[in-house]
Chains A and B, each alone.
Chain A
Amino acid sequence: MVSLTDLGELASAAASPVWRRVAGAPAVAEPAETLLGLGTPSSDVPMLSLRGITKRFPGVVANDGIDLDVFGGKVHAILGENGAGKSTLMKIIYGFYRPDAGSISMDGQPVVIHSPADSRRLGIGMVFQSFSLVPALTVTENVALFLPQQGAVLNRPWLERRVREVSARYGLDLNPRARVADLSMGERQKVELIKLILANARVLILDEPTSVLAPHEVDGLFSVFTELKRDGYAILFITHKMREVLASADQVTVLRRGKAAGTAEGGALTAQQLVALMLGIDAPKEVRNTARVKPRPQTAALEFNRVSTGSADDPRSLKEVSFQMMPGEILGIAGVSGNGQQELGETLLGLRSRRQGSVHLFGHDIGRWPLHRILGSGVAYIPEDALGMAVVPQMRVTENLVLGDIGRYNGGLWLDWRAIQTRLGQSLEGFPLPLARAEARADELSGGNLQRLVLARELTRGASVVVAYYPARGLDLVAAEKTRQLLMDCRSRGASVLLVSEDLDELMALSDRLMVMYQGKVAGLFYPENVTLQEVGLLMTGHHA
């Protein structure tokens, strides 16, 4: 590990022309139009400015004297490892947490933010890492919930018109009457943005907005950013992906263990410099599957035989899905989320009933097996929604680790916690991802640390079939590569891995075979070396390659 001073030196060595401490003068902003009631962003007074922000949680200093300046008409990216304090800082700006020390000012005037209501009044809006939308309500209703002033009676036609107007202006294509529960992640993101814009936010905070988006949705989001910048909005966004920083950020601030390591102008940076600034080390080597296997005729580890679920007109339900996954193979599943990937795993676990077809695990028809028997026969499952499906939020890290694998730690009637600690230690030994404090509750973990917890539990079980949904989601650069290596290790010891991802680079790098899903159907099954990214992308969106 390098210390902060090391980082500073390393950073100035790596990137001295562009690197500066936080409180420098920004570049001149272009004059912005003043549409939608935004004032012209002043070029040298920051729209939002933080000084000395400190926040402690029991056992950890999440933010430690952070200074930050955010300007209108600019995209400001926040980078940092898992647990660096990015989300905490954003929640302080939004009034969700109160800082223990430090001050905030807007347009040069000191302000006091004690609650989200305060920050919204000041024109600060935030999209949380887990969305704050009510799934049971419609788009319009969700937007209305966050509008500052409105009459007693909801003016639905007016609201719907406003939603349509903003959608059209910023290229977000949304049906105001759709229930949020029925929307894809990308669409929910758009609802969040519309919500903020209509509530007159000028500072838009997005916490890892891209982690749930498909590649083309990310591009869509960035072109929305461009439109928003033109209208003078300040955008603060958190990401772990260098490519996204390079593509969109005007300024970058790196957090390291609760401290602001520094701020740089985005345009002048290269990917290598960014990584060096963030980690103090060179970028980790990309994990690649170099010895791809062709399946030999043998008993498949997992076989789907013409499986259909749900109704035929639901794009998510499976339609005659057949495939075989061989031992020692990584089968990549490519597709825009909401095209049946979720159903695939749930059908395997028996959580979703099949209309027709059968599912086999090492030749056994598991159609009538209960969940615990399926999980007990060597299936590891890393779900899409860790907090909702994989952990008990109120339980401690250790308890969650034991819970998913209770058979292994079972010593008769009682759980012997001392012995468990020891055995847990043994099985986690050599696990390459550092975990959070054992006594922390799962719902206190940062997004990435939560994902690590699930990975640690599922990948140390010696499973023979690993089902992994977006395993690297929310992980920082290093942890993401280590996770990919872990999946490769599973494969080398003969396990088969069903890898569901929206990251095509990841899929191409790791998969032995690649299956594309579209609207619940298998749109194609390939050896990665035989297809191009382009072709896969087309198949994912319903075109024929």
Chain B
Amino acid sequence: MNIFWLVLGGAFTGAVGPGVSVLYATYGEVITERAGRINLGIEGSMLMGACFGFLTAVETGNVVVAILAGGLAGSLLSGIHAYLVVFRDTNQLATGLAVTLFGAGVTAYAGRSFVGSSIEGLNPVAIPLFSNLPVVGRALFQQDLLAYAAYALGPLLWAFLHYTKWGLSLRAVGESTNVAFAAGRNPARWQVAAIMAGGLLAGLGGAQLSLALTHSWTEGMTAGRGFIAVALVIFGMWSPLRAMIGALLFGGAIGLQLQLQSIGAPISPFILDMFPYIITLAVLTVWTGAALRAMPEGLKGVLKGTV
């Protein structure tokens, strides 16, 4: 087998691990944006999840409690965003960035004495039979529990959006707050709920990052994954199912970067670090035109810079 296929195979095998945290954040942003709001603060929510998930794991040694703490922390941070944009009517993009900076500050402070601590955390659990399948076995079925939950969450969220009355309300709010109001929904309440649920999911993603992927906490460790998630939502045309493909793509780019680094490809490590982001940007550039048609009406003003 030549080196090309080896590297590509390695990239695929390594794609799921780094992709899971981004996938959670993407799910979160899909829910938020389907309600007609945009939250750039999910980068901050991921950091909150990563930090407080890790702290809780160190302090309690209980990984389930740690995961929940991570989700809660992410949700609380996005609550600030929700309050500001829904009730104080602030600019969504600026508020989201401010919230992310706030989250970065809080976690840098809270986590400062935990840098370098190590934990048992979440470890891969091989699924019998499936994990022995060639290629996909190792890639998909030797993962941690949060990854398996993420597989299930995509179809579940999709079904939630399309087959429950709550999903219908959420989508209606995102398309037209006026119509939703006329239909007896309280758009503000729905949007706050959606933003906080989005923060919860991003927090879980952050927790997966520190508990399962790195087993450690470092300041700013999400490295823009939350922003990547915002981009993947557009790539995924606001569908949780397509979000899975997007996250796998991003994860694959990280996997590829690691593979190239490990075989000592003659490329600057700084360029290699940029690789996943460049790929995401490139895909987005090619893709956006077609994707934008699926955009919820309520987002159009924000994304076109008129609100």
Contact = CB atoms under 8 A, between A and B. Distances in A.
B163 A120 contact: no
A145 B297 contact: no
Contacts of B180: 145
B296 A115 contact: no
Contact of A136 (B165, B183, B296): B296
Interface in A128-153: 128, 132-137, 141, 144-146, 150-153
Contacts of A141: 168, 171
Contacts of B290: none
Given A117-B184, A144-B168, A134 B163 contact: no
Interface size class of A (residues with CB under 8 A): 20 to 34
Given A115-B184, A116-B181, A156 B163 contact: yes
Given A136-B297, A146-B183, A152 B165 contact: yes
A151 B165 contact: yes
Contacts of B171: 134, 136-137, 141
B165 A134 contact: no
B179 A134 contact: yes
Nearest to A115: B184
B182 interface: yes
Interface in B143-167: 162-167
Nearest to B179: A132
A152 B184 contact: no
A144 B171 CA distance: 12
Nearest to B293: A136
Given A144-B165, A152-B165, A153-B163, A137 B172 contact: yes
Given A145-B172, A152-B165, A154-B165, 4 more contacts: A116-B183, A134-B175, A136-B296, A141-B168
A136 B299 CA distance: 13
8 nearest A-B residue pairs (beta carbon):
A117-B184, A132-B182, A134-B175, A132-B179, A145-B183, A146-B183, A136-B175, A145-B172
Given A116-B184, A117-B184, A156-B163, A133 B179 contact: yes
A116 B171 CA distance: 19
Greatest chain B CB density within 10 A among A117, A120, A151 is at: A117
A222 interface: no
A154 B163 contact: yes
Nearest to A121: B184
Contacts of B176: 132, 134
12 contacts: A115-B184, A116-B181, A116-B183, A120-B184, A132-B179, A132-B182, A134-B176, A135-B297, A136-B175, A146-B183, A152-B164, A153-B164
A8 B171 CA distance: 50
Contacts of B182: 96, 116, 128, 132
A144 to B, nearest CB: 6
Interface in A251-302: none
A133 B163 CA distance: 19
Contacts of B91: none
Nearest to B182: A132
B184 A137 contact: no
A132 B164 contact: no
Contacts of A146: 183-184
Contacts of B169: 145
A421 B258 CA distance: 67
Interface of A: 96, 115-117, 120, 128, 132-137, 141, 144-146, 150-154, 156
Greatest chain A CB density within 10 A among B164, B183, B297 is at: B183
B178 interface: yes
Contacts of B175: 134-137
Contacts of A116: 181-184
A154 B168 contact: yes
Contacts of A152: 164-166
A156 B182 CA distance: 22
A95 to B, nearest CB: 10
Contacts of B165: 144, 150-154
Interface in B176-219: 176, 178-184
A373 B165 CA distance: 49
Nearest to A130: B178
A102 B297 CA distance: 37
A117 B181 CA distance: 9
Contacts of A117: 184
A144 B163 CA distance: 11
A269 to B, nearest CB: 33
Contacts of B166: 152
A259 B296 CA distance: 41
A97 B163 CA distance: 32
B123 to A, nearest CB: 36
A283 B247 CA distance: 67
Nearest to A141: B168
A30 to B, nearest CB: 33
A412 to B, nearest CB: 26
A77 B181 CA distance: 27
A145 B181 contact: no
A145 B170 CA distance: 10
Contacts of B167: 154
Contacts of B183: 116, 132, 145-146
Interface in B88-102: none
Nearest to A140: B168
A410 B182 CA distance: 41
Contacts of B162: 154
A145 B187 CA distance: 13
Contacts of A144: 165, 168
Given A151-B165, A154-B165, A154-B168, A132 B178 contact: yes
A250 to B, nearest CB: 27
Interface in B261-298: 296-297
Contacts of A134: 171-172, 175-176, 179
B182 to A, nearest CB: 4
Contacts of A128: 182
A154 B184 contact: no
A391 to B, nearest CB: 15
A128 B168 CA distance: 21
Contacts of B179: 132-134, 145
A57 B12 CA distance: 63
Nearest to B171: A137
Contacts of A136: 171, 175, 296-297
A150 B168 CA distance: 12
A145 B168 contact: yes
